């Protein structure tokens, strides 16, 4: 390599390694030297093309679509909540069961929802066929009432404790498997809905049907008019004395117990 070539290479290396010279020692000169290019002037191009300014973001109050901004106040569906006709899915079942208002107006409020479901099924299976007993297994009764078996057994004990139903017979199959239970469902339509003893406020418990029979006998027996203090059984008396005339006796004092 010639001396001239080596001197040229050396000069190029010295210029490349030497720090840049400052044009001015003043602050304005330093800022002008090291400040970025003016944004108003067209910027330099790169290999991928000229720089493109990002558009300013527009304020959007809700989700937008291609057709324009959309404002949603809440979740919505095309047709509202899903609805279907439950009655249309039920199979036909002829007949009906008359439920006394004594049950719907009074007894329901005294039973839990599980007790109501179980009692309604037992009432339908018994009095729906015009009899006071029905035979059904615990799994089948659980299926009809939609009450789990463990909960159903507790509900049955409560219904028995309230003297609304009674287990009269159990049937077992092979391997001592319980096939079903015969339940007696006490009637609600008459005054003697419960035939067993009830807990009254006094020290003794009397069967209500016995009390009703004794009461009806006392009410149906005619009074002894001979004991009437006004007419002594004649049927006539002098309400204001003999001078005022006679009148038909209504036995008012006898009925009042005077």
Give the residue from 258, 252, 256, 251 showing the smallest Cα distance to 225.
Answer: 251
* Neighbouring residues of 134: CB distance < 8 A, sequence distance ≥ 6: 122, 125, 126, 182, 183, 185
Res 48 pLDDT > 70: no
How many residues are recorded in the chain?
258
Rounded CA separation 122/141 (Å): 8
What tokens were used for 20? 């840049």
Confidence label for 47 from pLDDT (cuts 50, 70 and 90) = very low
Give mean pLDDT, residues 105-115.
95
**Residue 234 pLDDT class (50, 70, 90 cuts):** confident
Q: How confident is the model at residue 37 (pLDDT cuts 50, 70, 90)?
A: low
Give the angle subtended at the CA of 197 by the CAs of 195 and 202, to the nearest 5°: 140
**SS3 at position 237:** strand
Which helix (H) or strand (E) segment holds residue 169: the answer is strand 165-172
User: When comparing pLDDT for 21 and 161, which is higher?
Assistant: 161
Burial of 118 (C-beta count, 10 Å sphere; 0-12/13-18/19+) = buried
Q: What is the pLDDT of residues 73-109, one digit of tens each?
A: 455 455 566 788 988 888 888 888 888 899 999 999 9
For residues 60-71, give the mean pLDDT: 48
Model confidence band, residue 12 (pLDDT cutoffs 50, 70, 90): confident
Closest to 249 in 3D by CA, of 231, 232, 226, 227: 231
In terms of C-beta density within 10 A (0-12 exposed, 13-18 middle, 19 or more buried), how is residue 121 classed? buried
């Amino acid at each position: 390599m010639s001396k001239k070539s080596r001197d040229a290479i050396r000069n190029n290396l010295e210029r490349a390694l030497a720090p840049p010279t400052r044009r001015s020692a003043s602050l304005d000169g330093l800022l002008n030297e090291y400040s970025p290019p003016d944004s108003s002037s067209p910027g330099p191009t790169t290999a991928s093309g000229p720089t493109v300014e990002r558009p300013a973001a527009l304020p959007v109050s809700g989700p937008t679509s291609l057709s324009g901004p959309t404002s949603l106040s809440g979740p919505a569906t095309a047709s509202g909540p899903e609805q279907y006709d439950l009655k249309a899915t039920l199979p036909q079942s002829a007949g009906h069961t008359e439920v006394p208002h004594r049950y719907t107006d009074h007894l329901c409020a005294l039973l839990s929802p599980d007790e109501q479901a179980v009692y309604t099924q037992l009432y339908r299976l018994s009095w729906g066929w015009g009899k006071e007993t029905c035979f059904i297994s615990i799994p089948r009764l659980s299926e009809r009432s939609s009450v789990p078996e463990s909960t159903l057994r507790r509900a049955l004990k409560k219904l028995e404790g309230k003297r609304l139903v009674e287990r009269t017979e159990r049937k077992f199959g092979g391997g001592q498997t319980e096939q079903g239970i015969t339940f007696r469902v006490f009637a609600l339509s008459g005054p003697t809905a419960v035939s067993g003893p009830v807990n009254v406020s006094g020290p003794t418990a009397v069967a209500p049907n016995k009390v009703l029979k004794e009461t009806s006998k006392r009410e149906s027996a005619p009074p002894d008019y001979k004991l009437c203090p006004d007419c002594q059984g004649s049927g006539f008396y002098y309400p204001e004395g003999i001078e005022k005339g006679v009148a038909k006796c209504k036995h008012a004092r006898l009925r009042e117990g005077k």
